[in-house]
């Protein structure tokens, strides 16, 4: 773009050394008394107590400002064992032990997803890690769910559907919830879900027909299937993405089964800046506000929330060290990989390096991300009326194949040629935008390359790019394949009867347009 | 191992693999495919209607060279007339060589060429003079910014001069990808909101502009030039690049190595970014001096020239967007300034602002101008 009028963000002010050599005269900038132990930004030296107050305040302020966590609500803390999410669990723990005025008023539980099988961890190491995980979680006193990623092989297809949610989130609803909380809190307090992983309780019967994912060890066959799936993926980038996708599905499922309305994840501001740039580079421009914003409502009834988004990694590291917050090291999927092996890795390295040159890098990216909105761009073909991506569940952001866009440019030439080249047979577009093609797809379901095309067409731009790195979609967990088939059947059935249907005027609730339209889209099978 | 047969004609030996798809093609089939894709962009985007008189911003660099060549091939089918417009920024001596390249292209392809000079358009200001006047202001890096603003204006004037109805520039997919990365890194929400489009329809009295190569990767542009034996200058600007552009460029290289589609994936992201209304620029008005689109009283070019003439270039271009008090136009009173390349600040590695047209300048004696560099080409597949 034209660069006129730009200004440079980068006066090369060097980052201050992490811990100041506390000169005798220097005092805490807050209380002007305490010995500074932490320097956050240039010149801001905090003593231990003031740093703690600052850190806790940020967490509380983030929740207070956004007001999405209702009093008495069950909140599932997604804990990876890493520093940020550990710090988050700790914040909640401390928040609940406060005196009544400052006390956090939600009911927490913790989920830990054991990804050992996807990351190539040995069974022995997994057992060791899990012992440590359970020890730490046991000490929190919170109910917890330790779930193996293998459980995705028992997920129901419904996890991929956006569940409706009664209108909430308004100021009145919030106040009403506060009132009812004050009356009910004792009841809720005793009803808090016990932890099956600890063997302290049973699942409530209403949940038992769905695989709960919280019981027992993964079956060997599932462990094998999971590692086969991940080994088959050609790039580390796509592996990382699929891992995140499956983890989210599993977490949302556990949340639903146990009545949690919110899931908190511990991404720091540094992590979110990296994620934003990573997702940008993976073609997720349309979804950045969902992927990195404070709250993420794409699943409908279960809302993901990111309360640590104001904390930098550095602050987290200081806090955890100063206050002895326990964390567990687990190998990540890319732990042994070289820096340039995936978009995630290289973006992380790039941003962290740039941050040392320009200390404002992370905050600049973060602030810019806050100006993004959760709506399709003006004039973009896809509105909320379209179906959602089978995998990431965002509204499909693909254009017509004949449009003058990056998508159109690829679908007209490279994609079709590549399909042909890889499948070895001429492939016609399947259930595409074109009229009359759905039929051929319907007939051909079951034929491998057509099934492949049917799934691809239910994906957003970015998920399509990722799935190209899977030589075969067969090893995907059954719930994904089943839901894909259900959707495409719904699509073709409704196409067959479309002309006989009398359309009703849209009289849907305006407050929830996405939900209404989505339902409508499902009914009509638009674009499936 | 012998080269595979061409995937398209199944006859000739393949001479390259397309960077994104990995498809093995012979030279002629690749060039045909490349041209077909540009045609597709122009048609799908309704960029150039039948009968359009198209001013091609020509710099002698690879992007504009390839663009001019491809459009010349497509002109009969599109029913358009081409006119090359080159801008002489007035950068010490070197620019003559680049302009010579444009002249020989024009002669070889039998296309009309018009050269417009900053010096004539902007009351005697050459880019070198601008650089000297901003040197020491601690903002010598802004040269590229100034240059981009002025070139945009110069191209517009040149296009009008030749009676053009449309302007095309050689920006490719890499340029847009780089720009979206850079705008996030420096937090430019306004540009993110405006970016991601193929061209502008020509608001105000400006001519419609577009970028027919927007979905073509830089690698393929270089490959096309190679197989069509096009000669161009790989130019490096003598003026220092904008702070983050170099970083964004490095990053893009890494991303593309990790995932060949990364450049287009970024373009897709740029097309789809949705920003809060507050981040969008206010509805533009028109410049009180020249009538061009402007968000302030003066358009960027007029504000810049105004500042230069008053010895206050920073006022004109800073982020503060201070509204300048308009004084009687100082234009038309050319104070000739002799150029002095020795006084130039740091050498530049950027091919710059790309915003409109070509590399910001060129590559002075230090950077040196060379013809097609082999190292740019992707290895031919075996
Ligand atoms: Zn203090
Ligand atoms: Zn998706
Ligand atoms: Zn061929
Ligand atoms: Zn430059
Ligand atoms: Zn003006």
The 10s digit of each residue's pLDDT in A316-347 is 999 999 999 999 988 888 888 888 899 999 99
Alpha-carbon distance A341 to A333, whole Å? 11
Residues in B touching A286 (Cβ below 8 Å): 269, 272-274
Strands B199-200 and A144-148: unpaired
Which pLDDT does position A178 carry in this prediction?
63
Tokens (6 digits) for B332: 């038309």
| Average pLDDT along chain B | 77
pLDDT in tens, B304-322: 888 777 775 544 444 333 3
| DSSP string across A440-474 | HHHHHBTBHHHHHHHHHTTS-HHHHHHHTT-S-ST
From A30-39, A247-256, B82-91, B353-362, the region with the lowest mean pLDDT? B353-362
Return the higher-pLDDT residue of A292 and B231.
Answer: A292
According to the model, what pLDDT value does residue A173 have? 66
Same domain (yes/no): A50, A157: no
A518 pLDDT above the threshold of 80: no
At residue B318, the pLDDT reads: 40
* CA-to-CA dists, residue B300 to B81, B114, B374, angstroms: 30, 24, 39
d(CA B141, CA A72): 56
Helix (H, G, I), strand (E, B) or coil at A300: coil
* A31/A122 same-domain check: no
Residue pair A301/A256 in contact by the 8 Å Cβ criterion: yes
Nearest CA distance, B264 vs chain A (angstrom) = 6
Report, as an integer, the average pLDDT of A268-297. 96
Share of chain A above pLDDT 90, in %: 50
Whether residue A178 is contained in a domain is answered as no
Provide φ and ψ at A112, rounded to 5°.
-120, 125
DSSP-derived letter for residue A264 is: E
DSSP B10: S
Owning domain of residue A305:
68-166+217-370
Q: Name A442's Cβ contacts closer than 8 Å, sequence gap at least 6.
A: A431, A488, A489, A492
List, in order, residues 6 or more apart from B237 with CB less than 8 Å away.
B144, B147, B348, B350, B351, B352, B359, B360, B361, B362, B363, B364, B367
| Eight-state DSSP code of residue B234 | B
Are A37 and A161 part of one and the same domain?
A: no
Tell me the three state secondary structure of residue A166: coil
Distance B35 CA to ligand 3 centre (A): 14
Q: What percentage of chain B reaches a pLDDT higher than 70?
A: 73
CA distance linking residue B356 with residue B305, whole number of Å:
18
Candidates A5, A343, A417; nearest CB to B300 = A5
pLDDT band (50, 70, 90) for residue B273: very high
Q: If you write DSSP's letter for every residue of B296-355 in order, what string do you get?
A: SSS-HHHHHHHHHHTT-HHHHHSTT-PPPPP-S--TT--------GGG--S-----TT-S
Residue whose C-alpha is closest to residue B252's, from B179, B198, B191: B179
CA distance B64 to A272: 38
Question: What is the pLDDT at residue A409?
Answer: 86
Query: In this structure, are A228 and A112 located in the same domain?
Result: yes
Chain-centre distance of CA A72, in angstroms? Answer: 23
Task: Tell me how many domains chain A contains.
Answer: 2
Assess whether A33 and A113 both reside in one domain: no
A499 — pLDDT class (breaks 50, 70, 90): low
The reported pLDDT for the residue numbered A435 is: 38
pLDDT at B103 over 70: yes
pLDDT digits (tens, 9 = 90+) for B290-309: 777 777 788 888 888 887 77
pLDDT value, residue A399: 83
The answer on pLDDT for A219 being more than 50 is yes
**Ligand 4 centroid – CA B353 distance (Å):** 7
A-chain residues within 8 Å CB-CB of B293?
none
Which pLDDT band, with edges at 50, 70 and 90, does A25 fall under? low
3 state SS of A39: strand
Q: Please say if the pLDDT value at position A403 is more than 90.
A: no
From chain B, pick out residues whose CB is under 8 angstroms from the CB of A407: 268
Distances (CA, A) of A462 to A405, A457, B50, B180: 14, 12, 36, 17
* pLDDT average, residue stretch B1-25: 90
A325, part of any domain? yes
Q: Which residues of A touch B198 (CB under 8 A)?
A: 404
- Kindly state whether residues A37 and A158 are assigned to the same domain: no
Q: Tell me whether residues A373 and B317 touch, CB distance under 8 A.
A: no
| Distance from the alpha carbon of residue B148 to the mean position of ligand 4, in angstroms | 9
User: What pLDDT is recorded for position A527?
Assistant: 36
User: A298 lies in a domain?
Assistant: yes
CATH code of the domain covering residue A288: 3.40.50.620
Same domain, A162 and A226: yes
Radius of gyration for the alpha carbons in chain A, expressed in angstroms and rounded: 24
Q: Are residues A238 and A362 in the same domain?
A: yes
Among the bound ligands, name the one nearest to the CA of residue A298.
Answer: 2
Q: Are residues A59 and A106 in the same domain?
A: no
Angle (nearest 5°) at CA A375 between B252 and A455: 70
Chain A, chain B: beta-carbon pairs less than 8 Å apart: 209
Residue A298 sits in the same domain as residue A351: yes
8 A C-beta contact, residue B367 and residue B235: yes
CB atoms within 10 A of CB A101: 5
Q: Is residue A400 part of a domain?
A: no
How many angstroms separate the CA atoms of B134 and B337, rounded?
Answer: 14
**What are A73's two structure tokens?**
């609500």
How many CB atoms are located within 10 Å of the residue A429 CB?
A: 17
Cross-chain residue pair B275–A7, CB shorter than 8 Å: no
A192 or A357, which is more confident: A357
Residue to test with chain A: of B269, B277, B302, B304, most A Cβ within 10 A = B269
Does residue A159 share a domain with residue A107?
yes
Q: What is the mean pLDDT of residues A258-270?
A: 96
The residue with greater pLDDT, B350 or A89, is A89
Q: Which residue has the higher pLDDT, A205 or A396?
A: A396
Q: Which residue has the higher pLDDT, A128 or A400?
A: A128
pLDDT, tens digit (0-9, with 9 covering 90-100), for B162-186: 999 999 999 999 999 999 999 999 8
* Listed residues A370, A403, A430: the one ending a domain: A370
Q: What span, in angstroms and rounded, lies between the C-alpha atoms of B350 and B362?
A: 9
Listed residues A340, A370, A400: the one ending a domain:
A370
Domain boundaries, chain B: 28-278, 282-317
A397 falls within a domain: no
Integer Cα distance of A525 and A495 in angstroms: 7
Which DSSP string do the residues of A323-347 spell out, in sequence order?
TT--------TTTTS-TTSSHHHHH
Rounded to an integer, what distance in angstroms lies between the CA atom of residue A341 and that of residue B165? 47
pLDDT, mean of residues B201-227: 89
Query: What confidence tier does A183 reach under pLDDT thresholds 50, 70, 90?
Result: low
In chain A, residues with a C-beta closer than 8 Å to the C-beta of B276 are 371-373
Phi first, then psi, for residue B116 (nearest 5°) are -115, 140
Q: The whole model's pTM is what?
A: 0.80
Residues within 5 Å of ion ligand 2, judged at the Cβ atom:
A 389, 391-392, 460, 463
**If you search the block for the tokens 């491998």, which residue do you land on?**
A448
Q: Indicate whether A255 belongs to any domain.
A: yes
Which of A65, A92, A120 finishes a domain?
A65
Shared-domain flag, residues A50 and A149: no
| pLDDT of residue B342 exceeding 90 | no
pLDDT given for residue B373 in this prediction: 32
- What kind and span of H or E run contains A263? strand A262-265
**Minimal CA separation from B88 to chain A, in Å:** 19
* CB spacing of B275 vs A465 below 8 angstroms: no
CB contact under 8 A, B269 and A283: yes
Mean pLDDT (chain A, rounded)? 78
Average pLDDT over residues B246-255: 93
Q: Which residue of B has its CA nearest to A348?
A: B251
For domain B28-278, the CATH class is alpha beta
Contact list, A269 vs chain B (CB under 8 Å): none
Nearest CA in chain B to A366: B187
> In a mutagenesis test of the B interface, which of A2, A3, A344, A419 is the best target, namely the one with the most B β-carbons within 10 Å?
A3
Residue A202 is assigned to a structural domain of this protein:
no
> Distance (Å, rounded) from C-alpha A180 to C-alpha A167?
17
Specify the pairing of strand A74-78 against strand A107-114. parallel
Strands B53-58 and B166-168: parallel
Q: Which distant-in-sequence residues (6+ apart) come within 8 Å of A336 by Cβ?
A: none
Q: For A101-130, give the secondary structure using H, E and C.
A: CCCCCCEEEEEEEECCCCCCCCHHHHHHHH
Record: contact B274-A377, CB cut-off 8 A: yes
Token digits of residue B174: 């890499």
From chain B, the residues in CB contact with A412 under 8 A are 37, 40
Is the pLDDT higher at A213 or at A220?
Answer: A220
* Contact criterion met (CB < 8 Å) for B300 and A4: yes
How high is the pLDDT of residue B203? 65
Q: Determine the average pLDDT of the residues in B319-340.
A: 36
**What was the pLDDT predicted at B246?**
84
């Amino acid at each position: 773009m034209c660069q006129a009028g730009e200004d440079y963000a980068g006066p090369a002010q060097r980052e201050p050394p992490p811990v100041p050599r506390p000169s005798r005269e220097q005092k805490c900038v807050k209380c002007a008394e305490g010995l500074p132990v932490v320097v956050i930004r240039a010149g801001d030296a905090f003593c231990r107590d003031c740093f703690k107050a600052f850190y806790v305040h940020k967490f509380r302020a983030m929740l207070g400002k956004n007001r999405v966590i209702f009093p008495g609500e069950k909140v599932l803390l997604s804990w990876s064992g890493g520093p940020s999410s550990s710090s988050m669990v700790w914040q909640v723990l401390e928040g609940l032990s406060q005196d009544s005025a400052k006390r956090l008023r939600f009911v927490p539980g913790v989920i830990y997803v054991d990804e050992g099988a996807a990351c190539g961890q040995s069974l022995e190491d997994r057992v060791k890690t899990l012992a440590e995980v359970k020890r730490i979680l046991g000490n929190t006193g919170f109910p917890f769910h330790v779930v193996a990623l293998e459980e995705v092989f028992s997920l129901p297809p419904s996890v991929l559907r956006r569940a409706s949610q009664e209108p909430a989130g308004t100021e009145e609803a919030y106040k009403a919830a506060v009132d009812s909380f004050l009356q009910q809190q004792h009841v809720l307090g005793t009803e808090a879900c016990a932890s099956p992983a600890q063997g302290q309780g049973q699942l409530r019967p209403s949940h038992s027909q769905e695989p709960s994912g919280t019981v027992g060890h993964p079956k060997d066959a599932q462990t094998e299937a999971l590692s086969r799936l991940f080994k088959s993926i050609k790039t580390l980038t796509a592996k990382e993405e699929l891992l995140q996708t499956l983890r989210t599905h599993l977490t949302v499922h556990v949340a639903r089964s146990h009545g949690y309305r919110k899931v908190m994840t511990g991404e720091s501001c540094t992590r979110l800046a990296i994620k934003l740039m990573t997702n940008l580079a993976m073609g997720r421009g349309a979804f950045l506000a969902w992927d990195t914003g404070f709250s993420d409502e794409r699943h409908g009834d279960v809302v993901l929330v990111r309360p640590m988004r104001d904390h930098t990694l550095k602050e987290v590291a200081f806090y955890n060290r100063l206050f002895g917050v326990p964390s567990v090291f687990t190998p990540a999927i890319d732990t042994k990989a070289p820096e340039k092996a995936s978009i995630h890795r290289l973006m992380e390295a790039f941003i962290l390096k740039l941050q040392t040159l320009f200390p404002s890098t992370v905050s600049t990216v973060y602030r810019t991300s806050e100006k993004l909105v959760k709506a399709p761009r003006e004039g973009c073909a896809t509105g909320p009326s379209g179906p959602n991506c089978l995998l990431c569940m965002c509204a499909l952001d693909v254009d017509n194949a004949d449009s003058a866009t990056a998508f159109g440019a690829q679908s007209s030439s490279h994609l079709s040629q590549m399909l042909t080249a890889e499948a070895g047979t001429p492939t016609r577009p399947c259930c595409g935008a074109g009229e009359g093609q759905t039929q051929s797809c319907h007939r051909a379901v079951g034929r491998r390359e057509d099934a492949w095309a049917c799934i691809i067409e239910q994906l957003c731009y970015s998920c399509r790019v990722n799935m190209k790195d899977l030589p075969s979609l067969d090893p995907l967990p059954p719930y994904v394949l089943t839901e894909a088939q259900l959707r495409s059947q719904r699509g073709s059935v409704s196409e067959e009867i479309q002309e006989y249907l009398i359309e009703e005027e849209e009289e849907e609730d305006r407050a929830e347009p996405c939900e209404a339209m989505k339902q409508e889209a499902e009914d009509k099978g638009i674009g499936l | 191992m012998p080269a595979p047969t061409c995937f398209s004609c199944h006859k000739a030996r393949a001479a390259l693999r397309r960077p994104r798809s990995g498809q093995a093609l012979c030279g002629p089939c690749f060039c045909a495919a490349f041209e077909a894709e540009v045609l597709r962009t122009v048609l799908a985007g309704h960029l150039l209607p039948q009968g359009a008189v198209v001013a091609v911003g020509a710099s002698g660099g690879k992007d504009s060279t390839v663009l001019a060549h491809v459009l010349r091939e497509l002109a009969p089918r599109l029913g358009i007339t081409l006119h090359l417009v080159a801008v002489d920024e007035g950068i010490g001596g070197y620019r003559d060589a680049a302009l010579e390249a444009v002249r020989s292209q024009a002669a070889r392809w039998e296309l009309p060429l018009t050269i417009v000079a900053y010096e004539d358009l902007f009351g005697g200001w050459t880019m070198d003079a601008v650089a000297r006047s901003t040197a020491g202001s601690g903002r010598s890096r802004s040269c590229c910014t100034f240059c981009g603003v002025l070139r945009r204006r110069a191209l517009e004037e040149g296009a009008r001069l030749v009676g053009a109805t449309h302007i095309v520039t050689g920006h490719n997919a890499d340029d847009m990808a780089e720009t979206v990365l850079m705008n996030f890194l420096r937090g430019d929400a306004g540009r993110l909101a405006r970016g991601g489009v193929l061209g502008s329809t020509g608001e105000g009295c400006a001519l419609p502009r577009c970028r027919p190569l927007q979905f073509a990767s830089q690698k393929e542009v270089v490959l096309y030039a190679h197989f069509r034996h096009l000669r161009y200058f790989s130019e490096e600007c003598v003026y220092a690049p904008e702070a983050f552009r170099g970083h964004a460029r490095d990053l893009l290289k890494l991303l593309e190595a990790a995932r060949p589609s990364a450049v287009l994936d970024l373009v897709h992201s740029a097309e789809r970014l949705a920003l809060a209304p507050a981040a969008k620029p206010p509805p533009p008005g028109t410049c009180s001096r020249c009538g061009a689109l402007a968000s302030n009283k003066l358009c960027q070019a007029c504000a810049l020239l105004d500042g230069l003439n008053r010895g206050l270039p920073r006022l004109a271009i800073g982020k503060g967007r201070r509204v300048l008090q308009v004084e009687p136009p100082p234009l038309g009173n050319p104070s000739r300034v002799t150029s002095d390349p020795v006084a130039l600040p740091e050498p530049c590695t950027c091919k710059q602002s790309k915003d409109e047209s070509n590399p910001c300048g060129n590559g002075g004696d230090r950077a040196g101008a060379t013809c097609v560099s082999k190292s740019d080409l992707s290895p031919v597949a075996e």
